[in-house]
Amino acid sequence: MSQTYNPHKKKRRRTHGFLKRMSSSMGARVITKRRRKGRKSLAVTAVHAR
């Protein structure tokens, strides 16, 4: 058996990244709320996923 969590940077960006969030109305709402709250990072980006 293998471990449950097998991280991959590309998969992480494509699933939780900025473009994915902005592609739906609910995701865009998440980004808006994070901006309003003053989050340092709004979504997973290439810079943070290294």
pLDDT of residue 45: 80
pLDDT of residue 27: 97
> What are the domain boundaries of the chain?
8-50
Q: Which CATH number fits domain 8-50: 1.10.287.3980, 3.40.50.300, 3.30.70.120, 1.10.3430.10?
A: 1.10.287.3980
- Can you give the pTM of this predicted structure? 0.76
Mean pLDDT (whole number) for 1-14: 91
Residue 1 has pLDDT above 90, yes or no: no
| Residue-wise pLDDT tens digits, 8-48 | 989 999 999 999 999 999 999 999 999 999 999 999 887 65
Could you write out the three-class secondary structure of 7-50? CCHHHHHHHHEHHHHHCCHHHHHHHHHHHHHCCCCCCECCCCCC
